[in-house]
Structure 1
Amino acid sequence: MRSVKLSVALAREVSVARTEAVTGWLRGTPYGRTLRRVIDGLVAIQIVDRSLALAAQIFTSVLPVIITASVLSGWNAGAKTINDQFGFDAGSLSGSNGSVPVDPSFAAFGVVGLLMVVLGGTSFARALARVYGAVWKVPVIGPRDAWRWLATLLAVALSAGLVGQTRELTQIRYAGQPLALVGEVAIWAFVWTLAPFLLTKGALTGRLLWVSGVLTAVGLTAVHVAGRVVLPRITTNAQQHFGPLGLAFTSVSWLFVMSVVIVGAASVVEALALDETSVGRYLRGPVSGDHE
């Protein structure tokens, strides 16, 4: 029901835009108005501020969950993702062969410690929920729906490890690299379709969800591929000059770029949903009165 109401609201905004007496390409044509909505939407959402906040939450909330889960389970997929993206061996920081040594006291911390990290990590999901609430103008979920925060956090953390595993596909002759890219896009698309569905309590239509998920996935995959080219050199220089502090700064900076993709994709899809051509009509779905 909420998704239908949202489609009707979007259609009404389109109707108002059509009746405005404006001139100039940006305001006087459907494509110009769509481009203007994209620009206005990115400004209105305060993309830089929200992306900075989201990047900080990923660094302080999501990464600890990935690290703790890797230590307790022995599944080093998260470390593989970091090594592949940033070009440094996590083992060089721990003085081991790629894994973090677990002493008995930490092992005793066990499940209780992981639970504490996960519960604290929901601040990332809350920040992401505020982003979607601002973009789509829907109520932000509260503590009564806390399980949605937890499910989103775990899905994002798990996806980071799975993305690292897709690099194993590159060992397949000829088709390995394309398969790895397709696998990465598929993982990101699923996660970033699921996240807004959970955090908006189903307020978005299926079309808005999957288009937003695919756009986010393509953007994150492009950033990931570019990172494999430029980040190893940047990371090496940062580590040589500033040590671990340089690695932390590089990581947060790249997480900011990824956050820009996440926030920007949602804002762009919202602007496209107001498009007066077939693109907007498809995204809004069948709504009475929305026709040329």
Structure 2
Amino acid sequence: MKLSVSLARQVSVARAEAATGWLRATPSGRTLWRVVDGLVAIQVVDRSLALAAQIFTSVLPVIIAASVFSGWHAAADTVSDQFGFNSASLSTGDTDAPMDPSFAAFGVVGLVMVVLGGTSFARALGRVYGAIWQVPSMGPRDAWRWVATLLAVALCAALVGQTRGLTHIRYAGRPLALVGEVAIWTFVWTLVPLLLTKGALTGRLLWVSALLTAVGLTSVHVAGRIVLPRITTNAQHHFGPLGLAFTSVSWLFVMSLVIVGAASVVKSFALDETCVGRYLRGPDSGGPDDDSS
């Protein structure tokens, strides 16, 4: 059964079983109720905490390990831009010393091992999408999708860090940086659900969910540039690297809330009985009236 048809049938069932309360007596009220109920049912806090931990232990190590090929500056800029602290301050050695060839070889092997072991992030995200969209989970045969997801998120996170360079352009710099960040996040969060649901979602569900996620992550990023420098400075002053780690995981939790919440909210609106829901489900889904006839 196509997902769009399944969603349309869920709309018919929901409308037939709608309560007569003041909130669920109207289509807009039922949509609002579905948003709240969907967030509770998906256990948005628990899943966001788990996802934040996986990002910290899977995605960030890939960005750092990739510095073996691209140089440390790209990884350092990404960490600084996302979390508000200068990673160079954690270094205790001579960063200008030439890299030993054996260390570089170990870095290549380490990168491969980090990528293979870091797919736990993609598996956790796949479970989130499976619970939200009720699609079958993937098996070992689809392991390449986990690797592709991890690399795509890590690469786009690094690219987002580089968009800050656009702010140096006179007049149009800051708007360009924001547009660039939204565009990058929209691309990756269209690609990731496509990979992890094996193409079960329609194009409209994909790009609407991706755009909502992108706007949310960009808003969090902008807010982080204001509040994080002071928070991380205090955390580092009082607790050292441990404070930075705790602050980073906390901020990753906020970003994970956006990722999980955006998908759940779009699912709720896809069950909407108005033109919004019909648009998201697509022309092949049929409407509630068609299913009930």
TM-score (norm 2): 0.94
SS of corresponding position for 1:138: coil
Where do 5+ consecutive residues of structure 1 fail to align? none
**Which residue of the partner structure matches residue 224 of structure 2?**
227
Task: Check conservation: 1:76, 1:99, Cα contact below 8 A.
Answer: no
**Which residue of the partner structure matches residue 147 of structure 2?**
150
SS of corresponding position for 1:159: helix
Task: Check conservation: 2:44, 2:261, Cα contact below 8 A.
Answer: yes
Percent identity, please.
80
One-letter amino acid of the structure 1 residue matched with residue 237 of structure 2: Q
Deviates more, 1:95-104 or 1:206-215: 95-104
Given the alignment of the two structures, is residue 190 of structure 1 paired with residue 187 of structure 2, yes or no?
Answer: yes
**Which residue of the partner structure matches residue 54 of structure 2?**
57
**Which residue of the partner structure matches residue 273 of structure 1?**
270
SS of corresponding position for 2:164: helix
Distance 1:77 1:142 in 2: 34
2:32 to 26, 30, 35: 35
**Which residue of the partner structure matches residue 84 of structure 1?**
81
Task: Check conservation: 2:76, 2:88, Cα contact below 8 A.
Answer: no
User: Cα offset for 1:108?
Assistant: 2.2
Given the alignment of the two structures, is residue 173 of structure 1 paired with residue 182 of structure 2, yes or no?
Answer: no
Describe the shift of the 1:102–1:135 C-alpha distance in structure 2 as closer, same or farther (beyond 3 A): farther
One-letter amino acid of the structure 2 residue matched with residue 288 of structure 1: G
**Which residue of the partner structure matches residue 140 of structure 1?**
137
User: Cα offset for 1:98?
Assistant: 7.3
User: Cα offset for 1:96?
Assistant: 6.1
Describe the shift of the 1:276–1:98 C-alpha distance in structure 2 as closer, same or farther (beyond 3 A): farther
The within-5 A match list for 1:208-247 is 208-247=205-244
One-letter amino acid of the structure 2 residue matched with residue 90 of structure 1: S
One-letter amino acid of the structure 2 residue matched with residue 42 of structure 1: L
Describe the shift of the 1:253–1:76 C-alpha distance in structure 2 as closer, same or farther (beyond 3 A): same
1:207 to 199, 204, 210: 204
Q: How many residues align?
A: 289
1:260 to 257, 260, 270: 257
Distance 1:59 1:123 in 2: 11
Describe the shift of the 1:229–1:98 C-alpha distance in structure 2 as closer, same or farther (beyond 3 A): farther
**Which residue of the partner structure matches residue 123 of structure 2?**
126
User: Cα offset for 1:84?
Assistant: 2.0
User: Cα offset for 1:138?
Assistant: 0.4
Where do 5+ consecutive residues of structure 2 fail to align? none
Deviates more, 1:281-290 or 1:18-27: 18-27
**Which residue of the partner structure matches residue 109 of structure 2?**
112
User: Cα offset for 1:35?
Assistant: 0.5
One-letter amino acid of the structure 1 residue matched with residue 39 of structure 2: L
User: Cα offset for 1:103?
Assistant: 3.8
Given the alignment of the two structures, is residue 288 of structure 1 paired with residue 286 of structure 2, yes or no?
Answer: yes
Given the alignment of the two structures, is residue 160 of structure 1 paired with residue 157 of structure 2, yes or no?
Answer: yes
Cα distance per residue 1:52-86 (max 9 Å; x no partner): 10000000111111000013431632321221233
**Which residue of the partner structure matches residue 68 of structure 1?**
65
Query: Alignment RMSD, CA only?
Result: 1.8
User: Cα offset for 1:97?
Assistant: 8.2
Task: Check conservation: 2:67, 2:75, Cα contact below 8 A.
Answer: yes
Distance 1:147 1:55 in 2: 22
User: Cα offset for 1:21?
Assistant: 5.2
Task: Check conservation: 2:122, 2:147, Cα contact below 8 A.
Answer: yes
One-letter amino acid of the structure 1 residue matched with residue 200 of structure 2: A
Distance 1:98 1:178 in 2: 34
